[in-house]
Amino acid sequence: MYIIINIILVISILALILLGLKFNKKSNEKLEKIGQWLEEFIKKYYKILVMLLLFLTFFTSIFKITTLPYGLHVDEAGLSYDAISIAKYGVDRYLRSYPVWLNNYYGSQSSMYAYILVILIKIFGYSKLLLRLPAVIFRLLIFISMLWVLKDEKNQLKSVLFLFIFAICPYFIMNSRWALDCNLLVGFITISECILIKSILKSSNKLLFISGIFFGLSLYTYALSFIIIPLILLLDCIYLLHIKEFNFKKLVIFGIPIFLFSIPLMLMLLINNGYVEEISGFITIPKLVGYRGSDIMFPNFIENFYIIGTIFSFDNTRIFGSVYWYNALEEFGTIYYANIPFFLLGFAWAFTKMVKSIKEKKFDINSIFIFWFLAVLFCMFMVKTPTIHRANAIFTPIVYFVAIGIYVAFKKSKAFIIPVTLILTINFGMFLNYYFREYNKNSEGKFLFATTYLDVLDYAKSLKREDIYFDQLLTSEQYIYTLLDHEVSPYSYNTELIVGEYEGTEITYHFEDNSKWEELNSNAVYVTGPSEDLLARFTDSGFSHKQFGIYRVFYCEE
């Protein structure tokens, strides 16, 4: 429905503009005057508009953040428990002292988000709000970093356009509302690139060194940064050397912090490829349980071509099912479908500026955004299954090109700004209405967010039985919610059996394959998935049950 409404809006408004331009010169002149008035209004109230857009950015990230998205994603739970363990005991759930990279169930997880959370936990204590707060903070830092750079161009309209598109962008709103570790990559790269641009504009070696620090830290936000960041750095450095903005001295100043931060990760790659043993001590450079080096392949432009459409729309359900429903909404896309033509126009315009900059050997910030976009896109062709969250670093340049496209159209005809603003405002309104009113209804019971699993835990405990059995076939990761719920010490459990005394009642938590349940214990509680065979078995054995989404809790009446 939303897509149909959007199409009708775009066609109707564009038709009115074209008819007005063709048949009514006075109407066209009025629109031009309104456009001129809007430009003057932006200049006059620039600071107030920036503050309002900053508030809008903050509000759309923080409003109902503990309940929307509903539940707790399994990776959020894992990250939370590791952060609590490190904050309290100095070790992660696998008893590794301050690891540079985390193991997460049978895979791996970048460590930057967890260590930011560790600092916050030490100051404020753990809460769900605190867990998701770094995502909000880094969205605000993207806003501030881009404002910092764009204001140097002394073009207030361009700045406001970017900040407006950024503030209402569906991808950035959804991205900033939950704690997926890899989503920090877009924030760190934005900060790094903006400081780099500023260092060139101000000829500041100090800023250049700081940019190098942030690029080095960016390596700890996501495994794909090991490819994306070298590609960005290669393109940026070749360009800056070519236009004489870089020399050997500046290259060294820029490169030293990046190299130093990359040393532990280079050792980790050697360890996980079998060349070196795991390094343990105060800091652990781990051998990962689920090292996924095989996920990177020689670029496959045919098989992965779908990512070009995906980054503007939503993750293809024919490929991924509904697993990545939290990345983008089909109804609105990642940036609103109405913005795609402006992205194409902005990218083309920026590309011509880059070519001119290379020919004239004169720095132009559009070149940095072009290289940034191309580096991330090229990386997506080297990944076995590219998705929106894996391409998260691409969205700052995408929003930048959209803003540039609207700006170019505005300069061509000021009349364009009125329908564009109207279309985007209506899109934003429809998105807010859907996201804050309907989204949770459609996501309730979703598997990865354990939307009802926490209710299962509370109900199972309320039955006050000594033993609670969880079907390990349901998900091997579900134990983490129990650990997190009680903030169990990592020294007092293993993933097969958790024993603890909670709220004065000793409960033994068993995580087993249901095939081991040869004789059912009538004094125990069992938690299973939606298996009809198990339902029949427990019912025949005299058990009652209560349903929580995809989960069932079985028990015998006392």
Q: Specify the range with the lowest mean pLDDT, choosing from 98-107, 220-229, 360-369.
A: 98-107
Q: State the pLDDT at residue 530.
A: 81
What does the domain layout of the chain look like in residue ranges?
A: 35-442, 453-555
Residue 356 in tokens = 């001119």
Would you say residue 322 has pLDDT above 60? yes
| Strand-pair category, 467-471 with 107-109 | unpaired
Would you say residue 412 has pLDDT above 50? yes
Provide the Cα torsion 235, 240, 243, 249; round to 10°: -140
Q: What is the mean pLDDT of residues 343-347?
A: 95
Would you say residue 446 has pLDDT above 70? no
Q: What is the mean pLDDT of residues 132-158?
A: 92
Highest mean pLDDT among 1-15, 141-155, 199-213, 424-438: 199-213
**Distance (Å, rounded) from C-alpha 41 to C-alpha 57?**
21
Residues paired with 506 in a beta bridge:
501
Would you say residue 504 has pLDDT above 50? no
Average pLDDT for the chain: 88
Q: What is the mean pLDDT of residues 439-449?
A: 71
Q: In terms of Cα–Cα distance, which of 535, 507, 506 is closest to 520?
A: 535
**Distance (Å, rounded) from C-alpha 166 to C-alpha 311?**
15
Between vectors from CA 79 to CA 315 and to CA 486, what angle results, nearest 5°? 125
Q: Whole-structure pTM over 0.95, yes or no?
A: no
Residue percentage of the chain with pLDDT more than 70: 87
Q: State the pLDDT at residue 502.
A: 42
Instruction: Write out pLDDT tens, residues 180-229.
Output: 999 999 999 999 999 999 999 999 999 999 999 999 999 999 999 999 99
Positive or negative: CA dihedral 401, 406, 410, 412: positive
Q: State the pLDDT at residue 111.
A: 96
Between vectors from CA 525 to CA 81 and to CA 83, what angle results, nearest 5°? 0
- Cis preceding-peptide flag for 69 (omega within 30 of 0): yes
Instruction: Write out pLDDT tens, residues 56-72.
Output: 999 999 999 999 998 88
**Distance (Å, rounded) from C-alpha 28 to C-alpha 355?**
35
| Strand-pair category, 551-555 with 493-494 | unpaired
Instruction: Please report which confidence band the pLDDT of residue 36 belongs to, taking 50, 70 and 90 as the band edges.
Output: confident
* Cα–Cα distance list, 275 to 164, 264, 268, 269 (Å): 50, 14, 10, 9
Rg of the chain over Cα atoms, rounded to whole angstroms, equals 26
Q: Specify the range with the lowest mean pLDDT, choosing from 11-25, 413-427, 484-498.
A: 11-25
Instruction: Please report which confidence band the pLDDT of residue 49 belongs to, taking 50, 70 and 90 as the band edges.
Output: very high
Q: For 487, left (φ over 0), alpha (ψ -120 to 50), or beta?
A: left
**Distance (Å, rounded) from C-alpha 467 to C-alpha 522?**
10
Instruction: Write out pLDDT tens, residues 512-552.
Output: 778 888 899 999 999 988 889 999 999 999 999 999 877 89
Q: State the pLDDT at residue 529.
A: 82
Higher pLDDT, 261 or 527: 261
Q: State the pLDDT at residue 23.
A: 44
Find out whether 91 and 85 touch, Cβ atoms under 8 Å.
yes
Highest mean pLDDT among 124-128, 315-319, 479-483: 124-128
Q: State the pLDDT at residue 71.
A: 82
Higher pLDDT, 37 or 275: 275
Q: State the pLDDT at residue 76.
A: 92
